[in-house]
Amino acid sequence: MAIINSTYTGPPAYLFNGHLETVIPSLFRKITDVTYEREKIPTSDGDFLNLDWSSVGSSQLLIVSHGLEGDSGRHYAKALVKLFNSSNTDVLVWNNRSCGGEINLTPVLYHHGASYDLDTTVSHVLASRDYKEIYLTGISMGGAQTLKYLGEMGADLPPAIKRAAVYSTPCNLLSSANTLKFRSNAFYKNRFLGKLKAKVRAKAAQFPELIDLDLLERVSDFDSFDTFFTAQLHGFKDANDFYTSVSADNWMPAIETPTLVINALNDPLLGPECYPVALAERKAELSLEMPKRGGHTGFVVGGNEFTWAEYRVRDFLLNGG
């Protein structure tokens, strides 16, 4: 498709920079009146995934992939559920392993490249339900998983999947990871590390021979965490090998279905390589929209329950525009 001129005019005046646009909704935004029906499905390696459904009896389904240390209870997931349900569309939010309130069974956790679990989710839906149209969306890490899955499948993508849209997505994982080294991003680094360390401690209780808890307590940056824990648990050499091996932009040129990427230019967690301008300019299936404002998963609209990005995702997926 192309580079799209964004219609987002910006947040209320009190959210006057990208950090506030990111942090305030993350901490304080609440979405009510959303309930789920949980389904647990097996994975091929002896683990499980928890799928949270909100159905309205539609022939259309939206599958949502959440962000790092998120789950189906995050405000952005529940907002998409509520918005798409109101547009007569069923919604499924799948929880990455160890997310959604239940620790998983195998030594692995999850990561930006875990598109295999999205594939398991999609395959289960196709085998067990009869949807005429399926749409994919992902937020932040979930966007990267979605883009990687679309590229891996390429022309073999199930025909029921009609369109995809992602936002605040680290298309290049190394570029995004490098932003966590900035002093201005210490809040995000510490918040993510604290939550991930708790997950690793839980994994150590299951597999004490695999985890050095003394080392875990000494780790204070993502390069070290991803080298000694993410990489080791998931079969990568070190942090750099992990970042470069699973980065979504390795697969994005092979995407064969209409896909929208929305990344705000003031997103504090996206580096320059996370804006695939050259690819969007030459690839008919890919549209890139880069609002000047929005922060990371922000895109607040004053006085509105839903964000601009959520409305934009709905418009692209359900209306094709």
Instruction: Give the residue numbers spanning the domain of 153.
Output: 3-319
pLDDT tens column, 171-229: 999 999 999 999 999 999 999 999 999 999 999 999 999 999 999 999 999 999 999 99
Q: In one letter, which amino acid is 310?
A: E
Q: What is the mean pLDDT of the chain?
A: 97
How far apart are alpha carbons 22 and 20 in whole angstroms?
5
Residue 164's DSSP bridge partners are 136, 259
Domain count, the chain: 1
- Residue 85 pLDDT class (50, 70, 90 cuts): very high
pLDDT tens column, 217-276: 999 999 999 999 999 999 999 999 999 999 999 999 999 999 999 999 999 999 999 999
**Which residue carries 């064969």 as its tokens?**
256
**Which residue carries 């050499």 as its tokens?**
237
Whole-model pTM?
A: 0.97
Contacts of 103 (CB under 8 A, 6+ apart): 199, 202, 203, 206
CATH number of the domain that 64 lies in?
3.40.50.1820
pLDDT at 307: 98
- Residue 278 pLDDT class (50, 70, 90 cuts): very high
- Residue 320 pLDDT class (50, 70, 90 cuts): confident
Average pLDDT of the residues in 156-171 = 98
pLDDT at 1: 56
Average pLDDT of the residues in 142-156 = 98
Burial of 148 (0-12, 13-18, 19+ CB in 10 A): buried
